[in-house]
């Protein structure tokens, strides 16, 4: 371990030399608040060949000291400047993740001469303040008044990867557990959104903004807004990735970063366009969108198609109450519909890769076109439908209907039950959810996303069963405790030696 002393704190950092002995360029990696430098582990092999790497733990994270003062964004920015100066880095590219990106934006806004490019991953430059404050309050409540980060950590880790694997989970849990609630919430300040949006306008180096297509907390539309704050910024959505894009798609993200750095100069030529054009376009565009939304609220559609897709106890599709029983075993119609039921929309390339991963992309695209046409014919059977249920454009597929699904409702019920306070009501809810479970939630669906969902369900069932074991042992009800332990054991055989030792 290598440390550098700054005042009364030690900053933990790592300098990784490029594999190419002639390499000169440096990447400085800043992790997200709540994590540590190891959140970059999976992407390093794709960056090291031609770049020297500096990564470090933010103060109060990983092995870096927090200090005695309250942690602030200004301190993080000052720490970054200190490291660059002390390590004699004459030229560098800054790569930032999550809230760590606010320190990068603050430094870049000072227009330091040795900064070449700024890459922001999942950095919510602009976020609604009221909603942000509500999220912070909810997260503080989960820490039980600042006593423990574990309930919050477990929820966050579950949703920031796509999918969550054992390797990713270990890295994230280890890093999250080293951050105190005080440090986390000192830095989780929604006022920084507004300041960072203003600072983004002042940055003169090329900016690349990246986010994951499956990021539920910070969805792609949030980052499109960021382009209004800097005309030279670029934005790419990383497919099949959530917030931890450098873990979910390390090779692709590295390739995009390197291509952007190699290009360096933006190719837009604003000399031939009035700079006021962008402001007018944005203002009028959002004004018209808001008007259309208000009109929709005042004039709801006369008829809305009802699409019901059930699968837990047998596959069944109903449109406006009428069953469609045949045709689902062909052209991957069932798989395509189920994926859209869970995700509402998807890109064509995303679906091509999901449904035919072993096939060349162009061939998979052709197969997808056939499947789309076939599924449209299956769904558009009712003469009285107000519109097409399966919508398409050049890049996307989406469902236009009021959707109901037993499995979607079941997953929602699990998440709601997990958020309930300790009570007999929670115990009874867990019991009911375990009664309703099925051996295979999506029988006959073997695509990776479906298998990942099945694995998630089994982890939830195990957790619920173990919760009931604990509650019944507290009640000294060994019969029920043993019954629910057998349920947990059926999904996780590694638990076998645990129960006897606790009796």
Same domain, 455 and 379: no
Site of tokens 């991963």: 357
| pLDDT at position 277 over 80 | no
More confident residue, 265 or 64: 64
User: Is 413 in the same domain as 400?
Assistant: no
Tell me which of 194-198, 203-207, 459-463, 482-486 is least confident: 194-198
* Residue 265 burial class via C-beta count within 10 angstroms: exposed 0-12, middle 13-18, buried 19 and up: exposed
Strand-pair category, 322-323 with 9-16: unpaired
Q: Based on the domain organization, do 194 and 91 belong to the same domain?
A: yes
Q: CB of 149 within 8 A of CB of 176? A: yes
* Whether residue 160 sits in one domain with residue 55: yes
Does residue 303 have a pLDDT over 70? no
- Bridge partners of 236? 210
Encoding tokens for residue 453? 């969902």
Co-location of 258 and 283 in the same domain? no
User: Which of 369, 385, 404 lies at the terminal end of a domain, its last residue?
Assistant: 404
Same domain, 386 and 427: no
Q: In the chain, how many domains are there? A: 4
Tokens of 437: 């479970």
Residue 484's pLDDT band, with cuts at 50, 70 and 90, is very high
180 and 153 Cβ atoms separated by less than 8 Å: no
- Does residue 112 carry a pLDDT above 70? yes
- Write the CATH number for 343: 1.10.10.10
Instruction: Give me the percent of the chain exceeding a pLDDT of 70.
Output: 88
Q: Averaged over 448-459, what is the pLDDT?
A: 90
pTM: 0.59
The pLDDT value recorded for residue 400 is 86
Tens of pLDDT, residue by residue over 141-154, are 888 766 778 888 88
- Cβ–Cβ contacts within 10 Å for residue 288, how many? 10
Query: For residue range 179-191, what is the model confidence (pLDDT) as tens digits?
Result: 999 999 888 876 7
Which pLDDT band, with edges at 50, 70 and 90, does 270 fall under?
Answer: very low
- Determine the pLDDT at residue 44: 98
pLDDT level of residue 420 (50, 70, 90 thresholds): confident
Give me the pLDDT at residue 273, please.
Answer: 44
Do residues 33 and 187 make contact, with C-beta atoms less than 8 angstroms apart? yes
Q: Would you place residue 470 in the very low, low, confident or very high pLDDT band (cuts 50, 70, 90)?
A: very high
Q: Do 237 and 199 sit in the same domain of this protein? A: yes
* Packed helices 406-418 and 424-436: angle between N→C axes, nearest 10 degrees: 150
Residue 63 has pLDDT above 90, yes or no: yes
pLDDT at 266: 45
| Mean pLDDT calculated for residue range 467-473 | 93
**427 and 396 housed in the same domain:** no
Are 125 and 146 in a shared domain?
yes
Same domain, residue pair 412 and 493: yes
Q: Show contacts of 73-79: CB within 8 Å, 24+ apart.
A: 73/102, 73/103, 73/106, 73/187, 73/189, 73/192, 73/195, 74/106, 76/100, 76/102, 76/103, 76/187, 77/103, 77/106, 77/107, 79/6, 79/11, 79/103
pLDDT of 481 strictly over 90? yes
Residue ranges making up the domain that contains 277: 273-299
The pLDDT tens digits for 122-174 are 999 888 777 888 888 888 888 876 677 888 888 888 889 998 899 999 999 99
Write phi, then psi, for 308 (nearest 5 degrees).
Answer: -115, 125
Both tokens of 374, joined, read 């076939």
Residue 300, pLDDT > 60, answer no
How high is the pLDDT of residue 246? 97
User: Is pLDDT larger for residue 323 or for residue 301?
Assistant: 323
The mean pLDDT of the chain is 87
Q: What is the pLDDT of residue 272?
A: 39
315 and 287 housed in the same domain? no
My answer on whether 237 and 372 are in the same domain is no
């Amino acid at each position: 371990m290598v440390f550098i002393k700054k005042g009364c704190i030690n900053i933990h950092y790592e300098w990784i030399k490029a594999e190419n002995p002639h390499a000169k360029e440096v990447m400085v990696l800043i992790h997200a608040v709540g994590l540590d430098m190891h959140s970059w582990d999976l992407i390093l092999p794709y960056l090291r060949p031609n770049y020297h790497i500096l990564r470090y733990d933010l103060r109060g994270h990983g092995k870096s000291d927090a200090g005695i003062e309250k942690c602030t964004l200004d301190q993080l920015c000052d720490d970054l400047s200190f490291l660059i100066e002390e390590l004699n880095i004459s030229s560098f590219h800054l790569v930032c993740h999550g809230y760590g990106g606010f320190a990068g934006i603050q430094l870049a806004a000072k227009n330091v001469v040795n900064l070449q490019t700024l890459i922001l991953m999942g950095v919510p430059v602009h976020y609604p303040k009221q909603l942000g404050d509500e999220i912070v309050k909810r997260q503080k409540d989960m820490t039980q008044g600042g006593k423990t980060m574990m309930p919050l950590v477990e929820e966050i880790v579950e949703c920031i990867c796509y999918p969550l694997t054992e390797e990713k989970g270990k890295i994230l849990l280890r890093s999250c557990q080293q951050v105190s609630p005080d440090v986390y919430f000192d830095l989780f300040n929604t006022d920084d959104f507004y300041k960072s949006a203003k600072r983004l306008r002042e940055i003169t180096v090329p900016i690349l903004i990246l986010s994951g297509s499956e990021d539920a907390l910070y969805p792609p539309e949030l980052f499109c807004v960021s382009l209004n704050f800097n005309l030279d910024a670029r934005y790419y959505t990383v497919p099949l990735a959530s917030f931890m894009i450098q873990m979910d798609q390390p090779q692709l993200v590295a390739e995009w970063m390197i291509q952007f750095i190699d290009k360096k100069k933006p190719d837009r030529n604003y000399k031939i366009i009035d700079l006021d054009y962008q402001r007018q376009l944005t203002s009028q565009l959002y004004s018209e969108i808001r008007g259309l939304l208000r009109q929709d609220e005042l004039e709801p559609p006369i008829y809305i198609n009802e699409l019901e897709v059930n699968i837990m106890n047998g596959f069944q599709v109903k449109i406006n109450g009428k069953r469609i029983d045949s045709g689902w075993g062909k052209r991957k119609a069932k798989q395509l519909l189920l994926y859209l039921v869970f995700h509402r929309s998807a890109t064509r390339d995303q679906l091509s890769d999901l449904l035919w991963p072993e096939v060349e992309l162009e061939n998979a695209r052709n197969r997808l076109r056939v499947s789309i046409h076939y599924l449209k014919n299956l769904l558009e059977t009712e003469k009285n439908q107000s519109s097409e249920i399966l919508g398409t454009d050049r890049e996307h597929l989406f469902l236009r209907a009021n959707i109901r699904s037993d499995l979607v409702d079941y997953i929602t019920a699990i998440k709601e039950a997990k958020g309930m306070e300790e009570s007999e009501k929670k115990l009874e809810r867990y019991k009911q959810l375990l009664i309703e479970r099925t051996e295979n939630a999506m029988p006959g669906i073997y695509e990776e996303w479906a298998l990942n969902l099945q694995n998630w369900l089994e982890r939830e069932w195990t957790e619920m069963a173990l919760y009931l074991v604990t509650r019944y042992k507290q009640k000294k009800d060994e019969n029920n405790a043993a019954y629910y332990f057998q349920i947990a054991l059926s999904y996780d055989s590694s638990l076998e030696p645990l129960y006897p030792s606790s009796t």
